[in-house]
Amino acid sequence: MRKWEHIYENNSSKLKGVCRRYVNSDEVAEDIIHDAFEIAIQKVDSYSGKGSFDGWLYQITVNTALQYLRKKKHCK
């Protein structure tokens, strides 16, 4: 688990910037990052080693943000 804490500390501010491109709220951006890390932890075995791990995590975060926006749109 310590490994994921280190990854979170090194990437969370960059990923928050990514999320803020999609949402207007720091709190929502942090929720998206949390959700993205949960997905990454669950699916770490699917990381093939092609490309950087940070890029893989970035893509999960973008997809999580887009999924949030889709759900929000359908709830209106």
Q: What is the pLDDT of residues 24-48, one digit of tens each?
A: 999 999 999 999 999 999 999 999 9
pLDDT of residue 41: 96
Q: What CATH number did the domain enclosing 17 receive?
A: 1.10.1740.10
Number of domain units in the chain: 1
Report residue 71's pLDDT band, with 50, 70 and 90 as the boundaries. very high
pLDDT of 1:
62
Model pLDDT, residue 66: 97
Alpha carbons 27 and 20: distance in angstroms, whole number:
10
Instruction: Copy the structure tokens of residue 28.
Output: 């929502």
**Mean pLDDT in the chain?**
94
Q: Where in the sequence is the domain holding 19, given as residue range(s)?
A: 2-75
Q: Report how far Cα 73 is from the mean position of its chain's Cα atoms.
A: 19
Q: What is the DSSP letter of 22?
A: T
